[in-house]
Structure 1
């Protein structure tokens, strides 16, 4: 057993040349493709046709969306379920709390299996299991049975938490990473906002069981999509190979797409190669893509299970999981509590109307994903150009200022609004502002982790996604008695203070000293070979 450093796997240590000014094409800026796609293997996921990438990525995003859609989406029915099954407010909240814990913990089960056996067999099995669990939940006749159906469904859905984020790095280049991570985060958060919105109308008209039956239908369709259109994306590449600068000008986003299209179809013109034709590895057929077995790496499974844990030493990992944790805590706290607030006096809303609170939540998620994804990519492109084409991962962190202000203010507004029985407008605005953090913060910080530790990004993201749910569970398990004891103002005011401290102070320190820390930690031998 020996340990390696990030420098052994990637000599760039996260600082790469992402843009290159052409000397023979009117000085236009060319995008450098990072990581470098294989010159000889059309089966490299980076060289897949764009439609194939997008269909596979969309199928995985749908999988993670449906996990949260049926579990978190049940929140508007909590008040009704507490009456039907004679459960307390705290007990009913367990329908969401324990799945959150499972969604985090079982990342530590699925990711090592996927690294060893491949991502495809994990996704195929887990998507089928998710569908079966929703059938179980739809026919459950007791609270305990419904609870366990949610827990096992969360076990299946946890396969997408870290692996879905890792697929972004399997299929797309660094300059696309922010926007695609934003889409993925919208898929996760969208289940928790669009799910309750739809569930409110379904519960009012058809009953809560039909919410589960709709999820059964959707997950069955998604299982077929995963089975047919998600090939294996695990691919071993030489991480020390520098990026490829394509000789197609890429001064606009449309031209950047042309570069990607050229590479993904194999019609590349790469500056650092000769004009001689490069022998190509045979391209896999559709039937070969459907195989579940893609071999195993030259290591044992036990090492795969213990390999991620030493990486908690990296500051980027610590910062990302803490930011994600507090963002998740605040949003889920509102999900748990809002039905007990809005369906009880003095509001007395029906579940159908209660579900409408997720409209500002959805809008906040969409804005946060755009701000943390596309806007960050545009900001980084500008910063990189100003830095003579050199990309520094810390460039992403500047735009954390958006959730820093919006979410902390939203927390205070929601807490004061509930405690002082303010208009529903105040509660809606507060929740919308809070929801920005659930997509913007992890989109930025998980892309930052991938930039810093690309060769081991699936293990690093495993720690982020696994630990954030454990921390969130600890907070949320006591959120109901906490609110009952101190009130909404103190509860949400405290969460706002924690959010400001973690996101704000951490970002400032990493912006100032992150590059030095990153280069220093790249020498640490904490990666198990």
Structure 2
């Protein structure tokens, strides 16, 4: 059965357009903020800032991108996802205008921080609508696509920014982001409907149909009851078609004009305060802990290279221009694409094969076997990059190292977030909020000290230790979840911790 909760947009084209609009939103968040990294060396000179101070342009937005997941997800669960996306995409555009005209480093920093506040709305909510819109066997592929858009903002943005800085200025990078976010704001307004779905049948079926057993379909509600009286009078007409004790009630679809309404009502069965505190007990779920730790260390490795590479490649002995420096984003982008393919489509194919061998029974832990790929590739790439910088090896070693590091940034979260969604589907947006919010907080803690860490220990020891931490987290978590994940899931299903 398709777990399709977008009743008013059940055609494939409309679904893909809505999902792509949200993906572009998250791409532009990272494009305008993280894509500015090739300009860090120039900005440090223009505003007379140290390496550590300049890195704040990326570090504090990373923290904000994580923390405010804990704000946006409860708000979206209560008021709806559409009003959140409409408001946040408009705010992102205004913040980029602010950044383009900023006359001081502090002003530029705050424009990035507020932009991160707006963009944080897509971190968990963007991932959660994969489950709103797509079949079970499509989720890995679509989650991989979503992760490509997130990581692509940093890699493609940095590549484009290098050329823009050389030919024009860093401000034009912001102005281009303004143009693109303005267009995306319009697509969100006109093409992204509400995907939140009230699973209480009384809120979805006209005529007051009430039944203890209900399953849903994009166009019909199948309700089982023992008599018409138990159906609240819906069996007597009004689009109901009765056959024995089964009644099919057609749900009227909204028109496009009705879908433009940014207001879809509030959740009547709870209050906003409860929405904020409800997800917190889910930190005891092992799948959530493994996902956010794996995502965090993958993010740390990639962002560490983003912060440091301009100070390495634009300074002696390389002495590259920002345009040439931006080319390091090419292997980063290639690593992201291969990682999302491996963690998405390849995992879906592998899971389909494992499910057939398991007599048609799908086990979420099947997704975790291919975590061996980022474990080996990224662990080696991290060591290669650190050794290449410290020993001043040929630039190809740095490029290959960065591409291998970037592999994990899409592969690890694509696999683990799809795994979390499979394990806790009814509350997946809350679980993904914890994953996305927590990984940024952990990453901020590591990255805030990355420059002093490198200066004190050197690149080889610094990146070698990071590689060790990454391999340990991925390997230990993978082994435990594959061996005991099934038992843990059955046990946690009986836990009464969801508020």
TM-score of the alignment, normalized to the shorter chain, above 0.5 = yes
Could you tell me which residue of structure 2 aligns to residue 402 of structure 1?
373
Where 2:248 maps in the other structure, the secondary structure is: coil
Give distance in 2, aligned partners of 1:119 and 1:315: 27
Q: Deviations over 1:60-117 (max 9, x none)?
A: 0000000000100000000000000000000000000000000000001111100000
Aligned residue runs from structure 1 range 339-358, under 5 A? 339-358=310-329
Structure 2 matches for 1:270-419, cutoff 5 A?
278-297=248-267, 298-419=269-390
User: Displacement of 1:237 after TM fit?
Assistant: 3.1
**Cα shift at 1:282:** 1.2
Q: Is 2:128 the counterpart of 1:166?
A: yes
Q: 486, 490, 494: which one pairs with 1:515?
A: 486
Cα separation, 2, equivalents of 1:226 and 1:241: 35
Aligned residues between the structures: 467
Change (3 A) 1:241 1:471: farther
Alignment partner, residue 189 of structure 1: 151
Q: Give the equivalent residue in structure 1 for 2:228.
A: none
Matched position secondary structure for 2:497: strand
Structure 2 residue aligned with 1:233: 195
Looking at structure 1, the residues matched to 369 and 218 of structure 2 have their Cα atoms a distance apart, in angstroms, of 32
Quick one: structure 1 residues 44 and 92, their matched pair in 2 at CA, closer, same or farther if it must change by over 3 Å?
Answer: same
Task: Give the 3-state SS of the residue equivalent to 2:498 in structure 1.
Answer: strand
**Alignment-derived partner of residue 209 in structure 1:** 171
Query: 1 CA distance for matches of 2:170 and 2:377?
Result: 33
Contact 1:331 / 1:438 at 8 angstroms: preserved in 2?
yes
Equivalent in the alignment of 1:502 = 473
Q: Deviations over 1:443-496 (max 9, x none)?
A: 000000000000000000000000000000000000000000000000000000
CA distance, structure 2, for counterparts of residue 299 and residue 521 of structure 1: 23
Partners in 1 of 2:72 and 2:150 — Cα distance? 17
Deviation per residue, 1:46-66 (Å, 9 max, x gap): x61111110100000000000
**Per-residue CA shift, 1:352-403, capped at 9, x if unaligned?**
0000000000000000000000000000000000001100000000000110
Q: What is the match of residue 237 of structure 2? A: none
In 2, distance between residues paired with 1:201 and 1:169?
Answer: 38
Q: Verify the 8 A CA contact 2:164 2:173 in the aligned structure 1.
A: yes
- Residue 243 of structure 1 deviates from its aligned partner by 8.8
Distance, in Å, in 2 between the alignment partners of 1:241 and 1:199 is 55
- The residue aligned with 1:139 is 101
TM-score using structure 2 length: 0.91
Secondary structure of the structure 1 residue equivalent to 2:320 = coil
In structure 2, the residue matched to 1:17 is none
Q: Contact conserved, 1:134 with 1:216, CA < 8 A, in 2? A: yes
Larger RCO of the pair (alpha carbons < 8 Å, separation 6+): 1
Query: Which among 37, 40, 49 is matched to residue 11 of structure 2?
Result: 49
CA distance in 2, matches of 1:184, 1:54: 12
1:323–1:441: 8 Å Cα contact kept in structure 2?
Answer: yes
TM-score (normalised: structure 1): 0.86
Which residue is 1:29 aligned to?
none
Q: Evaluate the alpha carbon distance shift between residue 345 and residue 80 of structure 1 in structure 2; reply closer, same or farther with a 3 A threshold.
A: same
How many Å separate the matches in 1 of 2:418 and 2:247? 35
CA contact under 8 A between 1:329 and 1:472: conserved in structure 2?
Answer: yes
Indicate conservation of the 8 Å contact 2:95/2:115, yes or no.
yes
CA RMSD of aligned residues (A): 1.9
1:154 partnered with 2:124: no
Structure 1 residues 196 and 241 mapped into 2: Cα distance closer, same or farther (>3 Å)?
A: farther
Deviations 1:144-198 (A, max 9, x none): 0000000000000000000000110111111111000000000100001100000
In 2: Cα distance, 1:173 partner to 1:450 partner: 12
Decide whether the 8 Å contact of 1:34 with 1:243 is kept in 2.
no
- CA–CA distance in 1 between the matches of 2:322 and 2:139? 38
